[in-house]
Amino acid sequence: MNAINKILPPLKIGNLIAEVPIIQGGMGVKVSMAGLASAVANEGGVGVIASVGLGYSKSTRYNVDIGEKALRYEIRKARSLTNGIIGVNVMYAISDYERFVKAAIDENVDLIISGAGMPVDLPRYLNGKNVKLLPIVSSIRAFKLICEFWNHNYKRLPDGVIVEGSKAGGHLGFSYKEIIENKAQSLEQIVTDIITIADTYTPRIPVIAAGGVFDGADIAKYLNMGASGVQMATRFICTNECDVHENFKKALLDAKENDITIIKSPVGMPGRVVKNEFVKRMQKGETVPFNCTYHCIKTCNYKTVPYCIAKAMVNAAEGNFDEGFAFAGANAHRCNEIIPVKTLIKSLVDETLLYL
Ligand SMILES: Cc1cc2nc3c(=O)[nH]c(=O)nc-3n(C[C@H](O)[C@H](O)[C@H](O)COP(=O)(O)O)c2cc1C
C-alpha cells in the first residue's frame, strides 16, 4: 500500500477540527499538564490537561482554591504554547468536579472530557459557552443513559463520546472480577455497538476509541470500524514533553508484560498499574495509615481504606516509587524509548496510513 499523499481523516467535533484524529488522554496528578497537552495540540492532535491533583503537594495543605488556581494556570500556559485544540479532563468522581468544570469553561477551553462516573449534569455549567462536552463511557448502557438524560434535561447531546475499554490505564469502568476473569466486553464490540447508536443522531456523534490503542494498526482498526478517532494516554507518557518525573517514564520502559497488573484501588474501582515493591506490599494487605489531606474522591472512605491513592500518585509524580506507583495501560510494556511528541505522532500517522 502506498501512504504517500494520503492524509488521515481529521477528527471533527462540531466546529473543532483536529488534523490528527488522536486525543491525548488526560492523566491525573501531574502527568498530563500544559507541556504535554500543548505539544500534542501543536502536532494537530487534541491535548488534554488532567485537572485532578494539579494543586497537590506535600508542602502545602490542599484546598479547592489551590486546585482551581493550578488548573487555570495550566490552561493559560497551554494556550500560550499552542493555537491548537486544548481540552481538560475532569473526573466525575472527584470532590472538586463542579469547581474544575466551571473554571475550565470560564477559561474557554475547547472541550471537557469527563468519566469515572456518569457526568449527568455536565451541560448545566455551560452558561451558553461553546465548550464541547465529551463523556467517557465503557458500555452502551452508559452512553444511552447520558444521551437520554442530557437530551431530556438540557436539550443537547454529547459532542463526542470516548469509549474506554478494559485495556486502559488508570481507573477502569469495569468490575474487578470482569477484568481479572477476562470477561469484560472487548473494546471492538463496545465501539461497534455505540457507533450504531451514535450514527442515528443528527448530526452523528463522533465515537473515539480508547484503551490499549498503541500503534498505527490499532488506530486504523478503529477508524476502519467507523470510529472518528482514538484516545491514547500510555504512549504519551514516554515522550520528552510528558510533564511527569523521569522515574515514572522509566517505570514504563523497564516494565515487562507480567509487570502490568490490576489493583483494587482504595477508591473502589479496579486500576491498571505497573507492579513494583509498593504495589506488591499493598496487594499482600499491608496498610499505610494516613490523615486525609486531599479529600479527592467523593466516595472514598478515607477512615477505612488501606492507603491514600492521592498520596501514592503524588509520590509517583515526584519520582518516589518506594511509596507510589505508575498507572499505565495494558500495552505499557511495549514502550521502549522516550521520544519527542512530534516523532511519536508522525510515526503513528505514517503507520496508520499503511492500514487504511
Ligand atoms: C497515568 C494515567 C493517568 C490517568 N488519569 C486519568 C484521569 O485523571 N482521568 C481520566 O478520565 N482518565 C485517566 N486515565 C485514562 C486515560 O485518559 C486513557 O483514557 C486511557 O489510559 C487510554 O488507554 P491507554 O493508556 O492504553 O492509551 C489515566 C491513564 C493513565 C495511564
Calculate the average pLDDT of the chain.
Answer: 94
Q: For residues 257 and 217, give the distance between their C-alpha atoms in angstroms, rounded to a whole number.
A: 20
Which tens digit of pLDDT belongs to each residue from 144-174? Answer: 999 999 999 999 999 999 999 999 999 999 9
Grid cell digits, residue 220: 486504523
* 238 and 250 together in one domain: no
Lowest mean pLDDT among 170-184, 256-270, 297-311: 297-311
* Residue of 306 and 348 predicted with greater confidence: 348
Percent of the chain as helix, strand, coil, to the nearest 5:
35, 15, 45
Q: Grade residue 53 by pLDDT with cuts at 50, 70 and 90.
A: very high
DSSP codes, 293-350: SS--BTT--TTTSSS-HHHHHHHHHTT--SS---B--TTGGG----B-HHHHHHHHHH
The Å distance, Cα 170 to ligand 1 centre, comes to 5
* 164 and 302 together in one domain: no
The reported pLDDT for the residue numbered 1 is 45
* 18 and 103 together in one domain: yes
Q: Residue 277 belongs to what domain range?
A: 246-317
Nearest residue to 328 via CA among 244, 242, 233: 233
* 339 and 306 together in one domain: no
* 250 and 346 together in one domain: no
pLDDT reading at 309 higher than 50: yes
pLDDT reading at 55 higher than 60: yes
The CATH number covering residue 221 comes to: 3.20.20.70
Q: Whose CA is nearest to atom 4 of ligand 1?
A: 27
What is the average pLDDT across 254-283?
Answer: 92
Q: Is residue 206 in contact with ligand 1, taking CB distance under 6 Å?
A: no
* 297 and 155 together in one domain: no
What is the average pLDDT across 15-40?
Answer: 98
The Å distance, Cα 3 to ligand 1 centre, comes to 30
Looking at the domain assignment, is residue 323 inside a domain?
no
Helix (H, G, I), strand (E, B) or coil at 290: coil
The reported pLDDT for the residue numbered 285 is 86
Return the amino acid letter for 313: M
Q: What total of structural domains would you count in the chain? A: 2
Q: For residues 352 and 348, give the distance between their C-alpha atoms in angstroms, rounded to a whole number.
A: 6
Give the atom of ligand 1 at the shortest distance from the alpha carbon of 326.
1
Q: Is residue 212 in contact with ligand 1, taking CB distance under 6 Å?
A: yes
* 91 and 184 together in one domain: yes
Q: Model's pTM, two decimal places?
A: 0.96
Q: Is residue 210 in contact with ligand 1, taking CB distance under 6 Å?
A: yes
Looking at the domain assignment, is residue 279 inside a domain?
yes
Looking at the domain assignment, is residue 106 inside a domain?
yes
* 276 and 161 together in one domain: no
The Å distance, Cα 5 to ligand 1 centre, comes to 33
pLDDT reading at 274 higher than 80: yes
* 260 and 224 together in one domain: no
Looking at the domain assignment, is residue 328 inside a domain?
no
